[in-house]
Chain A
Amino acid sequence: MYLTMTKPLFNSYFLFFLILTAFALSSCKKESDQPSWDVDILAPLISSSMTINNLVSDTLIKINPDSTVNLVYTSSLINYSADSLAQIRDTNLVSGFPIFSGTFPGGYQIVPLTPTVMNFQVSGVVLKKAILKTEFINIIMSNPIGCTLIFDYEVPGATLGGIPFRVFDSIPGNTRYSKTFSLAGYSLDLTGPGGTSSNTMSVSIVAYISKNVLKYTIPNTTALIDSNRIYNTQAEYVQGYLGQSTKNIGPQRSAFSLFKSIRSGILNFSKINITLDMDNSVGVDATINLLKISSINTKTGTTVNLICPSVINNSINVSRASQTGNPASPVDSTIKSVVINSSNSNISTQFFANLPNQLAYSLQVLVNPLGNISGDNDFIYSGHGINANLQVNIPLSALASNLVLADTLLLNLSNSKQIQKVNSGSLYLYLTNGLPFNAQVQIYTLNNINNKLTITDSLIQTPNNTILSANMAYIGNLWKVSSSVNSKLAIPLTKSKINNLVNAKKVIVLATFNTPAQNNFINIYSYYQLDFKLVADFNYNLSTKN
């Protein structure tokens, strides 16, 4: 028997259906964007190997045929460009050339050939010849008569391919002529009209009435005014006597990067050589006097002066270069080297034991100390000069004791969502050390506290924070690495350490090195290497949104 559905019953069924539908739909609403859960991750992150090439800048390393390594550092003490010895300043020459009076037909020469001399403004030097790299001559002439003048301007001593510099042009009546010409590449004979002078150059001019004029009358004697300006002169080559001068360099400091990361400790090298290499590629005699050279350790505030009587305050003559006659390589430089080592100086015992991060020096360069002994045959080729370099050469055979190296790295993990999702765990550093030293390592985080960078945490778990040295054996009269040694360092990742790492502005990596206890100098070979792998072992909040 069926029940009859009444209107109210219909309404209640419909309402029930709507409620159920609403419930079903509302249950589909998402609470948040993505689900998340915690997972335990055990995975390698980074693997790498380090050799001495990674520890020291490539430019400082020289690998020898037997795989031993030399540290080579070059510091420039003098870089004296000789261009400054014979600079030709801008020169002006104003001359007046008389013009005849009278009535003249067109084409008549009214200014006779009149040579004049231009003196170059140079000081202390006697220039006989120059080849110009750049130079400009500005010729300015005023025509005082009422008809057009034709002029022929010539500089017989300025030649290009044997042809003198010449300007043949016209000046309309009662006007001013001004044109600029380049003399780049011209060879200048600066011995003047007689060929015996110096710093001078002759100029000649001839002027005519224009042939287009039938006849012209010049009532009174007047003059053609010529005003020349020679400027922006740069010589490719000059010859003459370049004078006697003294150049003082310093006292000044330069950074010395070889030991820049060393904070403290003892680092002894079996041998250190310094070579003072002097190179004179100018046709003048030079005397170099190294007045003082000091090693400065700004971290300890210690300064050690080099004591080397054969070099310091002892004039070293470097004779003039010679000309080869080969345009591609026109100069045969004079090179002189002076060796500074442990037998003639305090270089090993004190100078570099100071572990300097700066060198300070002062020196003097004397040009033509004996005067004009070349008979005005000094010369300079542009770009050549007098140079002196200090070359430090250290065979990497060392003995380190509590040698502390520190490096500061910028860090910005504040935007790294991944690291902030680590709940807890550790990073493990697995090392296989094939280098002949052990290193106690620590990483410190730094953050701004009260506007001052302050250490906020240390990351590597102690006391097991030492990378063990490779095993050594006495092989062929030398201590060498016989086998690598494994170490494991742990970096715990507690929430507080993670926060300190995320908030850190910088980290300092501090490592204390010691060579093995044989008390012998240990050669570092280029094939020695340290392999390491960073492994993550942590609990991580994983989200499908990651």
Chain B
Amino acid sequence: MRKLFSISILFLSAGLLNAQDMRECFDANYSDKRSTFSINADAFCNSNSIPVDFVDALYLGQNISSGFINNVAGNLNAENRIGAEFNYSIHYSYKPDSCSRYSKFEFFFSIQNRTHLDGRFSGDLFNLVFNGNKMFAGQTANFDNFNLNLLQYQQFQIGICSKIKAGGIRYGIGLSVLNGQQYQNILAKKAELYTSPDGEYINFNSDITYKQSNTSNTNLGSSNGAGFGVDAFAEKSFTIREELTEKIKFELKDIGMIWWNKSSRTAVADSLYHYDGISVNNILDPKNSAFSKLNSDSIFNKVVQSNPGKIASVLPGIIHFNSVTSYKTWQLSKGIRYMYDANYKLNVYLTGNYFITKRLMVSLGAAYGGYTVFSVNTGLGADLGSGFIVHLFSNNIEGFIIPQIALGQSVSVSIMKHF
């Protein structure tokens, strides 16, 4: 049974952490295999205030009704968060045989495409964007502390970890070289928009910094920067009594930075801008073409000072502590995790796994925090024989069942072959 609970390091850097635990659950069936190859994909979009069907409507390019917007606006918090990721990867791991001088270690390699988005915003900002500024006539719309981060990069990782020893500490480390594809960051320390009662003028008081990498070169694999990343973990297993074991694990993931090249730009808007319409010298002169001046760019350029130059960004790194209690065909995984500098709240989770057969496992659990509030996770893992293993997992199954009120949606898929 101990083998059943042994872990591999295959998914050290892959996707959703609960899913990762799940993927390891059939490794014992193939302990004699030395190589493992897998293809993985995961995606999530979570918020503490925006329901899934609203995000879907945006993503699917639908026309969103005012009633729908007002329903969402009615459930907004003082501070609202949203986070999304879409990652896919290939992994390969190799365990040298017992005769090798490296028999105490496992080696792995992966190529990953990573996309991360997170943000926080006030209810006023949501209303300004989706309802317009008229509702703020005579008032100030406040979107202080608005923050939005978009990060796309490719990760090339190699790593090593120790093989498990009964009662010993197991550890591993993965080092990554990163290709920066796209980065956008908006941070509004202060942002207020006052609309006069009759709309004759608008005041915009701002202290906003906007950083972006080269926007003319954002296709997959485009290189606008370079960086590094480090993943590391340590774990220890305990046997409490016959068929009852406990394993604790601490890991750091995506600790690193990307330096973006000189084609990047930093824009700063730190002023009070009074806008009372495009000033036209002679409205009766048709050559004046007043209406041609009415574009957002001309206003933007008046408010913002933009400068080219190199910028740097920190990866949204993860700190994770996990404990798995195993008893016969049951497992109980619980833990906490935190993603820093990414508008993420401390996430606490509890997941139960049940092996229906040696080759089929289901899981069900719940979590609180992260980008959302409360979520239900569930998954399915199957050993299809001949070394083939598939996993399907969701940290937010509620998003598929009740998207009208659910605040998150996620899915993780993995196909693995031991040989």
Contact = CB atoms under 8 A, between A and B. Distances in A.
Interface of A: 2-5, 10, 13-14, 17, 20-21, 24, 30-48, 50, 54-55, 407, 409-410, 428, 430, 532-537, 539-540, 542
Interface string B275-317: 1111111111110001000100000000000000000000000
A220 to B, nearest CB: 81
A43 B382 CA distance: 59
Interface in B349-373: 355-360
A2 B357 contact: yes
A39 B131 contact: yes
A532 B280 CA distance: 10
Contacts of B285: 54
B401 interface: no
B133 A20 contact: no
A3 B382 CA distance: 13
A47 B280 contact: yes
Contacts, number: 140
Nearest to B283: A48
B406 interface: no
Nearest to A416: B291
16 contacts: A2-B357, A14-B390, A32-B61, A40-B132, A40-B133, A44-B199, A44-B200, A46-B277, A46-B280, A46-B283, A46-B290, A54-B283, A54-B284, A409-B286, A535-B198, A542-B132
> Which DSSP category, helix, strand, loop or mixed, fits chain B's interface?
mixed
A43 B413 CA distance: 48
Nearest to A38: B66
B64 A37 contact: yes
A415 B188 CA distance: 36
B137 interface: yes
Contacts of A55: 284
B220 interface: no
Given A44-B201, A44-B202, A13 B384 contact: yes
A17 B382 contact: yes
Given A13-B382, A35-B57, A48 B359 contact: no
A48 to B, nearest CB: 4
Given A17-B392, A43-B133, A54-B282, A36 B63 contact: yes
B385 interface: yes
A5 B61 contact: no
A371 to B, nearest CB: 55
B131 A40 contact: yes
B359 A5 contact: yes
Contacts of B384: 10, 13-14
A40 B195 CA distance: 12
Given A2-B359, A30-B59, 13 more contacts: A2-B357, A32-B61, A35-B59, A35-B63, A36-B63, A42-B133, A43-B133, A46-B279, A47-B276, A47-B277, A54-B282, A409-B286, A537-B134
A202 to B, nearest CB: 62
A533 B275 CA distance: 12
A54 B280 CA distance: 12
A35 B392 contact: no
B411 interface: yes
Nearest to B358: A2
A45 B58 contact: no
A376 B43 CA distance: 106
Contacts of A24: 411, 413
B238 interface: no
A40 B279 contact: no
Contact of A48 (B63, B135, B275, B279): B279
Contacts of B200: 44, 430, 533, 535
Contacts of A14: 384, 390
A37 B355 contact: no
Given A24-B413, A31-B61, A48-B280, A4 B357 contact: yes
Contacts of B280: 46-48
B78 interface: no
